[in-house]
Chain A
Amino acid sequence: MQGLDFSVVVPYWDLLVTGAWWTSVLTVSAGALSFVFGILFAVVVLYAPAVLAYPVRAFMWVFMGTPLLLQLFLIYFGLVQIGIDIPALAAGIIGLGLHFAVYNADIIRAGIVAVDTGQTEGARSIGFGKWQALRYVVIPQAIRNTAPPIGGNLIALLKESSIVSVIGIAELVHSAQLAISETFRPFEFYITAAALYYILNLVLEAALHRFERHVEVSR
């Protein structure tokens, strides 16, 4: 048992901050992907013909029932077997993005169903097409109403992004591991990494809170 000494972190501070930066990049890009695909999946499940809706529903079912870690392994190591070689960073963004897209889709689907049918009827009666009503009237309201749980998923995504370190993406955990391999000080570096995650988490929560208030005011 050696004494704890957090000063070992100082020479590696830049490395950790770079890792935190890449964690943010991963979170924002996978978050954007999960939002866009969340809407897409929700619309497909609700309105597309069965040939399209059923495979998407099955895909959602499988992604909800299995661990993210397994999904990442499948995308990164499995697809190589059938000749699809994706770089680690892309595999990480796609894996995280699709994983959370499925959860977002579930929320947005419920949000679309909950928008009053009178809204669609109103839009149709003033001459909107079916798709226009969906695109300009129903979906914006559904997303506004489901903003808090979608924001919750983004916060979960930030934390779950730590998992992509296992496929070798140089984010925060990976930076900490690199420093530990040179210093043999896991406690100090993992605690520091945890603190950085906590700060990122607070920043994201504050940003989401502001955004939600903005949405509330514009109502």
Chain B
Amino acid sequence: MSRVFPFFVEAALVTLELTVLALVLGLAAAALAAAAKMSRSAILRTIGTAYVSLFRGTPCLIQLFVLYFGGPQIGINLEPFAAGVIGLGLNIGAYMAESIRGAVMAVDRGQTEAARTIGFSRFQTLRKVVLPQAARLMIRPLGVNTVALLKGSALVSTISVVELTYTAQRFIGSTYKPFEIFGVAALLYMIMVYAIARIVDMLDKRFAIV
């Protein structure tokens, strides 16, 4: 076990890297989609709604397969790692869009009305009044999504990204010790999951209104 442990730490770092990159992409996609869904333009609203609905309505595994295995048929050739980041990012982005939209909608309407009354433009109202209040409300749901993203990143082992779950599978093939191997992988996942949970708790406290 001690012989294979360094491989696991390295694989866990790949899982973390995947998660962070997909999180960045996901947040960007989510912000755009949430803005599109709340926009005044019917076309943008339709695009935003379609993205969220399609990516939330189908399995992440299928989305990864379409991108990685189906991509070459439409001229998209991606390395497994890149396909993993893009697939996971677009998937979690659809969920995060709803978290962001929910937080913005949860800010009292009176806040917008008051800001508009004292002469703020629509954009200023959003930027200076609504978003600072909504940001606080987003922390927890986005944190939950990030934990889901980390655990969901195990799926990319099926498109041969050498991350934690893939590494565990490979070592089971060579050691025939599934319990020990899966135990170590599970432990590493749990350490990362609870680290994220702690960070979310800290951010939540930091931005709480006392």
Q: A82–B194 Cα gap in the complex (Å)?
A: 29
A54 contacts partner chain B, Cβ-Cβ < 8 Å = no
Q: B4-12, B37-45, B61-69, B130-138: which one contacts chain A?
A: B61-69
B60: which A residues are within 8 A, CB to CB?
Answer: 159
A193: which B residues are within 8 A, CB to CB?
Answer: 62
Q: Is the CB of B66 within 8 A of A66?
A: no
Interface of B is mostly: helix
Provided the pairs A73-B178, A197-B57 are in contact, do residues A67 and B66 lie with their beta carbons within 8 angstroms? Answer: no
Q: Is the CB of B66 within 8 A of A194?
A: yes
Tell me how far the C-beta of A100 lies from the nearest C-beta in chain B, rounded to whole angstroms.
13
B203 contacts partner chain A, Cβ-Cβ < 8 Å = no
A4: which B residues are within 8 A, CB to CB?
Answer: 73-74
Q: A115-123, A140-148, A183-191: which one contacts chain B?
A: A183-191
Q: Is the CB of B57 within 8 A of A70?
A: no
Q: B105-113, B114-122, B183-191: which one contacts chain A?
A: B183-191
Instruction: State which of B58, B65, B189 has its C-beta within 8 Å of the C-beta of A65.
Output: B189
Q: Is the CB of B73 within 8 A of A197?
A: no
Interchain pairs with CB closer than 8 A, number: 119
B205 contacts partner chain A, Cβ-Cβ < 8 Å = no
Give me the interface of B with A, judged by CB distance under 8 Å.
54, 57-63, 65-66, 69-75, 151-155, 157-158, 165, 168-169, 172, 176-179, 182, 185-186, 189-190, 193-194
Known: A68-B151, A70-B185, A187-B66. 9 other contacts (CB 8 A): A4-B74, A66-B185, A67-B152, A67-B189, A163-B59, A186-B69, A190-B66, A194-B58, A194-B63
A-B contact pairs, 22 of them (CB 8 A): A2-B73, A4-B73, A64-B193, A65-B189, A67-B152, A67-B153, A69-B155, A70-B182, A70-B189, A73-B178, A73-B182, A74-B182, A81-B177, A160-B59, A162-B61, A163-B61, A163-B155, A187-B69, A187-B71, A190-B62, A190-B69, A198-B58
